[in-house]
Amino acid sequence: MRLQTLLTWSSTLLAAATASPVVAPGLDLCPNIRRGVASRTVYEFPNGSWIENIAVRANGNLLVTRLDTPELYEIDPRNSATAKLIHHFTGYTSLLGISESSPDVFSVAVGNLSLTTGGRPQSFAIWTADFKGKTEPKVSKVTDIPEALLLNGVTALDRKAGTILVSDSALGVVFRVDTRSGTYTTALEDDTFKPPANASSPLGINGIRVVDGHMYYVNTLRPLYGRVPVDRASGKATGPYQVISTKIAADDFAVDRKGTAHMAVGVANEIAKVRPNGKSCVVAGSPGSKLIAGATSVAFGRTREEKHILYVSTSGAQAWPVNGTYTEGGKIVALEIH
């Protein structure tokens, strides 16, 4: 029943997403990868699973969240025979965004999904998984956010202070959360965060990333990719909102220090690259490809040997089967991006 509810919710999202251009006409393969990129499947979960988000520990291990069940897993991509269950979050249906909020401590958006408002009142919360100096991580709740409708993206604001920003896709706002005290406030709100007025599913601002004093963000259903300078302490805007691109209906993304984003485009089974000037191209995948079926999120490797690796999480195309028929288990794929 839970998976069916998820698929119904996602199908509603798909109908809204495909009403807008998934990728603008003329978006070609990136010139340097016309022969394709080297790839390998790191780990594939059973069919019916949906991997929603991914984060990378300093030791190179991957932390992945599942949307179809409230579970957090750890995978060693160099020895990926198994995925280790870190925690099952009883009382919730889904895990969404995850980010390192302080060294080796990861914050996770946890909640319940419904078909009407995105979430039920008093059903969303922030939890942390603390791996620092521990054989087994300590998992604990930071705070409930009762007014939240659909917590989604998570990014560190100040790792020294343990503060994060969390997007709410239905409300169209970004919360600042102090993961040590449990206090939170609404830090950012803008029209570019809001779901379209005629959207049949309440999905506006989605993935977010703070890099060099700016919060980069995507709004899936508009579609839109932009950024805003933010104060490191308060998380509030210190300058104007800038729209970088309106060509790609992305779910989540990773952005490097040059401001170039690699975006998971789930409805097109693609990874797209967007430069700071808005120029875009496709790095990997295609609408008919099974390589990254239903891409949901991306993260760069962190060890010296893996910094050229882009890890991609997928939904297994559960909501929008490849070529209308093919689905598989959610998985992690490693792409060699040079």
* Domain CATH for 283: 2.120.10.30
Q: Which residues, including other chains, have CB under 8 Å from residue 22's CB and lie 6 or more apart?
A: 223, 248, 249, 265, 267, 268, 287
Strand, coil or helix: what is 305?
helix
Return the closest-CA partner of residue 173 out of 136, 199, 148: 148
Distance separating the N- and C-terminal Cα atoms of the chain? 42
What pLDDT is stored for residue 122 in this prediction? 55
DSSP per position, 261-292: EEEEEGGGTEEEEE-TT--EEEEEE-TT-STT
What pLDDT is stored for residue 25 in this prediction?
A: 45
Q: What tokens does 275 get?
A: 């430069």
Closest residue by Cα to residue 70 from 109, 36, 27, 14: 109
Note the pTM of the prediction, 2 decimals.
Answer: 0.92
Give the pLDDT of residue 211: 96
Give me the tens of pLDDT residue by residue for the chain, a chain 338 residues long.
344 545 455 554 444 444 433 444 447 888 876 556 899 999 999 999 999 999 999 999 999 999 999 999 999 999 888 899 999 999 999 999 999 999 999 999 999 986 445 555 558 999 999 999 888 999 999 999 999 999 999 999 999 999 999 999 999 999 999 999 999 999 999 999 999 888 777 789 999 999 999 999 999 999 999 999 999 999 999 999 999 999 899 999 999 878 899 999 999 999 999 999 999 999 999 999 999 999 999 999 999 999 899 999 999 999 889 999 999 999 999 999 87
Count of structural domains within the chain = 1
d(CA 318, CA 58): 31
Cα 87 versus chain centre, distance = 19
Boundaries of domain holding 160: 2-336
Residues 57 and 40: beta-carbon distance below 8 Å: no
By the 8 A CB rule, do 39 and 335 touch?
Answer: yes
HSE, side-chain direction, 13 A CA sphere, residue 328: 19
Using an 8 Å Cβ cutoff, are 143 and 151 in contact? no
Cα 37 from Cα 319, distance rounded (Å): 26
Whole-angstrom CA distances from 67 to 63, 147, 154, 205, 238 are 14, 21, 15, 18, 34
Beta-carbon contacts of 221 under 8 Å, excluding residues fewer than 6 positions away, are 13, 16, 17, 20, 195, 196, 199, 201, 203, 204, 249
Dihedral sign for Cα atoms in the order 98, 99, 104, 105: negative
